[in-house]
């Protein structure tokens, strides 16, 4: 019997590997033979099922769940997708068999030949020419296998990769993501000298000290290093000194195991350029292993960043500076390939994050592709590197289960061994949502011994006590902790560790309310240092509507600006026929599945602005530099003055030369008109030159300050006497520009936060989604009409009064709604009406141009904005309330012939204009089911409830809730 199958590794947690080479930090990608492409493939029902004679094909790297097999993607959050208790796996266990013929280069004769499988889910078995090679678990780290004795240079070999989907390891890979199966990262074949660099460890501190520890190993192990062999190092063209002669191993020396020798190189770099996320300075290091005659037997290349990470008191310091961690959680994801992402994909991810003010990534919840860390080093990101451990459904049992001890230590240690030389990695994470037990302590102990230069974090330990010094986590890293609890802890006098939330502000649907409030508290409260938004991606898979299958790799061009092409949609949990799934909870990112930024990204960009307008005072506008390490010389700027009644004025801006933390007053660039109208000054800050993550002229931030408040509201048109307002028998306004009259609205199409947080159920129980309007009285006096109406709800009657008054050019509408005490916390209080067809353009003065809400409006500057009506709606994956604009003073809806209507509001209000009624949005589950209306659906809200993040985390703050009692608002409708 096949010895690999005899081990039954899919149900044996004690077996973490067999025949797999040790992990190390030498990068073998340069010069390797890539085996990516089409492989022969077949999908078996179980790992011990016989392999058939008929083969299809599958692309590597890739998951078979996205490549036209009958095993489709499945999404679960906490629950395992099968009932078996750990370590067992189901009998129905899809198993992919990949096979291809490899031509081994003739020039590799006499060399050590290694196969590297970048990642496979979840158990990998390797055979060459029918002979067993090895086993690997851990779905997100590479496995290397020595093929030297199995293949011959210049000849062909048949490589077979058998990938078992479910195993004991699946129980500790129970992450909030799609379940797939396949070979998800590149497969390489590379060669080295039999005596080769087995590992290189680099430590580079902020004062320029560099230490490079090298280990040499011989294929097969054993023996002693030949006399005269040596190691050299070169940093940006300068040679390093060898601190010691080779420590030549004795084969009986357990300390060095099968290593033949160790050497240390070191130097001190004068005037060192330090690495940080703002100025990610890198040096090129080459380490060479030389034979006795001086020829090079092996070499390893590294990019070195000189930086220190330490915790002092309750502060996390980078190069001695307390930095704010503006982070996001990032999964490997692509809407066409599932788990497989290319170098270009990863770079595009980080470029988007950089442009919107993020400086940190948590690799939720497993180590990323090696290229991700190269890019983080280059572009400048602080990385929390997280081990591939999450046992969410069976966390309590597994945390102390000795059968899983080896797996915990193996996964954590291999991550550290691979990624230890990356300056971007500043924190090691022991995993996610796996309770806390002896297995974590064992893994933490290994890390502390091997790499004392970085702190460790683990939320499962930290939640037992944010200040407890005896737990494995050096950082208090809670999930979705209430802001008031974080502030109270920081002010308690008991805090001992930095408080940096590993997850906060859940980005599901129309969400991320109070993000600015969080950061106002973080920046003003010592002890609070930031956190990681959940998460980067909406994990919508592009799906064909006609057959319900994933589109796959050939679907490029079938989506744009967050919207799938006709006949396609973004699939979420349950859309592939799964019986066990968690619905749209997978759609919780700050970007859509095609990487289009959601409106929250603009909110974050302003919260993280490197340059800010602190205030306006007599001597001018105060400009501040809020960076940690960088000056303002890399930025350009332009002033924009938005006048309520005078359009927008612009002028060049000369940014003061400010070091981090400095401020300076800048003279006001404009002379304010004396008309007394509202005025807002914006500084449009852009990149002065090309940056690695942005071309010259890219907007960095739009800080704004109000120079003058609005004058008290007065109607701009006199009442027209003896002209009546037309109201029908139901007390409804009749107007040629309106398709339906304005009525009271207390309901919104529930957001994901509303649904999962429970407020939508309460609103439905109250009957707010199906209000019945009863006209109590209609009075006509001198052309003015007053309508009294009542709306019955479960807690009591809502009384609504509308007063329609003819004014020059239109109608003034004054409204009052009285909510009974039982109606505390409704969705909105305002008017809703529909316009005639043909009005396709909205122009407004207020916050914009992107979507904003009362608790998510910091990133939408006040100004004059213009957007087509069809682009005002935000296509969140599950249709819901969207498209709102906060702080609108007035707006116009116009047709191409310049006809239309304009609305002036009594004060800045929440306004939305879309093609959909709330009922249209609540009646469907995907956007391909929506049918836009010809006219516009317009909401004018006296009050609108905040968004919060209650789908997973705290709801909005009490200040953004709507209280019962009397609400008043007024507006004027005119024809253009």
User: Which residues are catalytic, by number?
Assistant: 433, 503
Helix (H) or strand (E) holding 473: none
CA-wise closest residue to 916 among 900, 927, 902, 905? 927
Q: Are 216 and 245 in contact (CB under 8 A)?
A: no
Residue 203, both tokens = 């430590």
Calpha distance 43→98 (Å, rounded) = 9
Please state, in angstroms and rounded to a whole number, the distance separating the CA atoms of residues 451 and 326.
25
Q: State CA 26 to chain mean position distance.
A: 29
For the record, the structure tokens of 776 come out as 């109590």
Distance, in Å, from the CA atom of 372 to the CA atom of 235, rounded to the nearest integer, reads 23
- Sheet of 309-312, strand order: 309-312, 315-318, 321-322
CA distances from 260 to 23, 197, 198, 227, 295 (A): 17, 10, 10, 12, 19
DSSP state letters, 487-550: HHHHHSS---S-EEEEEEEE-SSS--TTHHHHHHHHHHSTTEEEEEEE-SBB-PEEEETTT--B
3-state secondary structure at position 764: helix
State the Rg of the chain over Cα: 31
Rounded to whole angstroms, the Cα distance separating 363 from 502 reads 11
The distance from CA 891 to its chain's CA centroid, rounded to whole angstroms, is 34
How buried is residue 705: exposed, middle or buried, by Cβ count under 10 Å (0-12/13-18/19+)? Answer: middle
List beta partners, residue 560.
563
- The DSSP bridge pattern shows strands 95-103 and 37-44 to be antiparallel
Helix (H, G, I), strand (E, B) or coil at 305: coil
Cα-Cα-Cα-Cα dihedral sign, residues 6, 10, 14, 19: positive
How wide is the angle at C-alpha 623 spanned by C-alphas 696 and 643, nearest 5°? 85
CA 4 – CA 132 distance, rounded (Å): 7
Sequence-distant (≥ 6) Cβ neighbours of residue 108 within 8 angstroms:
153, 191
Going from the C-alpha of 468 to that of each of 27, 473, 525, 789, the distances in angstroms are: 39, 9, 21, 59
Residue 524's Cβ-count burial label (10 Å; 0-12, 13-18, 19+) is: exposed
958, burial (CB in 10 Å: exposed 0-12, middle 13-18, buried 19+): exposed
**Assign residue 734 a region: left if phi > 0, alpha if psi is -120 to 50, beta otherwise?**
beta
Peptide bond into 849 cis (omega under 30): yes
Please list the helix, strand and coil fractions of the chain in percent, rounded to the nearest 5, in that order: 15, 40, 45
Contacts of 924 (CB under 8 A, 6+ apart): 879, 930
Give per-residue burial for 25-54: e unless 16+ CB within 10 Å, then b: bbbbbeebbebeeebebbbbebbeeeeeee
| Short-list 211, 36, 75, CA closest to 581 | 75
Nearest to 637 by CA among 571, 712, 697: 697
Q: Confirm if 883 and 912 have CB atoms less than 8 A apart.
A: yes
């Amino acid at each position: 019997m096949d010895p690999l199958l005899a081990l039954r590794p899919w149900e044996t947690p004690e077996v973490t590997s067999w025949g797999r080479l040790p992990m190390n930090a030498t990068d073998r990608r340069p010069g390797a033979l890539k085996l990516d492409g089409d492989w022969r493939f077949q999908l078996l029902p179980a790992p011990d099922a016989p392999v058939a004679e008929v083969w299809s094909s599958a692309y590597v790297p890739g998951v078979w769940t996205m490549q036209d097999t009958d095993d489709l993607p499945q999404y679960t959050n906490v629950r395992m997708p099968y009932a078996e208790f750990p370590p067992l796996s189901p009998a129905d266990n899809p198993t992919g068999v990949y096979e291809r013929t490899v031509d081994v280069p003739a020039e590799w004769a006499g060399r050590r030949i290694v196969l590297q499988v970048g990642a496979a889910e979840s158990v990998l078995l390797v055979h060459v020419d029918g002979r067993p090679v090895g086993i690997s678990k851990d779905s997100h780290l590479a496995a290397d296998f020595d093929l030297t004795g199995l293949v011959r240079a210049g000849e062909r070999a048949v490589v077979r990769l058998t990938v078992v989907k479910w195993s004991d390891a699946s129980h500790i890979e129970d992450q909030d993501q799609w379940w797939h199966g396949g070979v998800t990262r590149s497969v390489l074949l590379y060669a080295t000298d039999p005596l080769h660099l087995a590992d290189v460890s680099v430590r580079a501190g902020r004062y320029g000290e560099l230490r490079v520890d090298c280990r040499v190993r011989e294929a097969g192990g054993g023996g002693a290093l030949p006399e005269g062999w040596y190691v050299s190092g070169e940093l940006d063209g300068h040679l390093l000194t060898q601190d010691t002669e080779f420590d030549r191993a004795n084969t009986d020396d357990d300390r060095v195991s099968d290593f033949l020798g160790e050497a240390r190189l070191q130097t001190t770099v004068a005037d060192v350029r330090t690495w940080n996320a703002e100025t990610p300075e890198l040096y090129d290091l080459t380490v060479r292993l030389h034979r006795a005659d001086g020829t090079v037997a092996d070499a390893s290349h590294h990019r070195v960043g000189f930086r220190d990470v330490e915790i002092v008191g309750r502060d996390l310091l980078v190069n001695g500076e307390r930095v704010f961690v503006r982070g996001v959680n990032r999964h490997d994801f692509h809407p066409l390939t599932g788990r497989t992402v290319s170098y270009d994909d990863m770079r595009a991810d980080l470029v988007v994050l950089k442009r919107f003010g993020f400086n940190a990534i948590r690799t939720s919840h497993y180590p990323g592709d090696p290229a991700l860390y190269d890019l983080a080093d280059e572009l400048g990101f602080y990385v929390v590197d997280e081990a591939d451990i999450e046992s969410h459904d069976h966390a309590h049992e597994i945390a102390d289960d000795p059968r899983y001890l080896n797996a915990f230590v193996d996964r954590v240690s291999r991550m550290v061994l691979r990624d230890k030389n990356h300056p971007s990695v500043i924190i090691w994470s022991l995993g996610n949502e796996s309770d806390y037990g002896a297995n974590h302590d064992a893994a933490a102990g290994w890390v502390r011994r091997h790499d004392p230069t970085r702190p460790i974090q683990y939320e499962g330990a930290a939640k037992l006590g944010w200040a407890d010094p005896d737990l494995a986590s050096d950082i208090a890293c809670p999930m979705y902790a209430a802001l008031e609890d974080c502030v109270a802890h920081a002010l308690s006098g008991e805090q001992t560790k930095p408080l940096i939330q590993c997850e906060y502000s859940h980005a599901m649907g129309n969400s991320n309310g109070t993000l600015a409030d969080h950061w106002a508290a973080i920046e003003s409260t010592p002890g609070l240092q930031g956190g990681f938004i959940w998460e980067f991606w909406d994990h919508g898979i592009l799906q064909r509507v006609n057959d319900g299958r994933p589109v796959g790799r050939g679907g490029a061009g079938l989506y744009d600006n967050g919207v799938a092409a006709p006949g396609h949609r973004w699939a979420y949990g349950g859309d592939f026929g799964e019986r066990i799934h968690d619905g749209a909870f997978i759609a919780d990112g700050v970007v859509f599945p095609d990487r289009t930024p959601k409106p929250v990204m603009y909110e974050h960009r302003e919260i993280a602005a490197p340059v800010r307008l602190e205030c306006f005072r007599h001597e001018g506008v105060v400009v501040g530099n809020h960076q940690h390490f960088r000056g303002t010389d890399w930025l350009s700027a332009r002033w924009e003055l938005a006048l309520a009644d005078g359009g927008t004025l612009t002028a060049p801006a000369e940014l003061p030369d400010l070091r981090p933390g400095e401020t300076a007053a800048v003279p006001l660039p404009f002379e304010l008109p004396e008309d007394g109208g509202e005025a807002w000054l914006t500084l449009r800050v852009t990149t002065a030159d090309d940056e690695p993550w942005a071309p010259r002229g890219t907007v960095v931030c739009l800080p704004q300050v109000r120079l003058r408040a609005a004058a008290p509201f007065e109607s701009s048109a006199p009442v027209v006497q003896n002209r009546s307002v037309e109201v029908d028998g139901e007390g409804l306004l009749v107007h040629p520009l309106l398709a339906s009259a304005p009525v009271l609205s207390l309901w919104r199409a529930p957001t994901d936060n509303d649904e999962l947080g429970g407020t939508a159920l309460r609103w439905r129980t109250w009957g707010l989604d199906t209000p019945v309007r009863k006209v109590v009285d209609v009075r006509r006096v001198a052309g003015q009409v007053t309508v009294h109406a009542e709306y019955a709800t479960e807690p009591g009657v809502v009384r609504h009064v509308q007063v329609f008054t003819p004014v020059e050019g239109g109608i003034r509408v004054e409204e009052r709604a009285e909510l009974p005490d039982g109606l505390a916390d409704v969705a909105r209080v305002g008017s809703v009406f529909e316009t005639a067809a043909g009005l396709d353009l909205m122009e407004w003065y207020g916050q914009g141009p992107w979507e904003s809400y009362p608790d998510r409006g910091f990133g939408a500057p006040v100004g004059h904005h213009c957007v087509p009506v069809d682009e005002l709606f935000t296509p969140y994956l599950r249709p819901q309330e969207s498209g709102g604009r906060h702080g609108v003073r007035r707006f116009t809806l116009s047709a191409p012939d310049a006809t239309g209507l304009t609305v002036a509001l009594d004060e800045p209000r929440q306004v939305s204009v879309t093609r959909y009624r709330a009922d249209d949005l609540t009646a469907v589950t995907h956007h391909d089911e929506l049918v836009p209306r010809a006219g516009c659906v317009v909401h004018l809200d006296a009050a609108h409830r905040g968004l919060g993040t209650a789908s997973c985390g705290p709801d909005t703050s009490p200040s953004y809730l709507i209280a019962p009692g009397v609400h008043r608002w007024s507006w004027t409708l005119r024809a253009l």
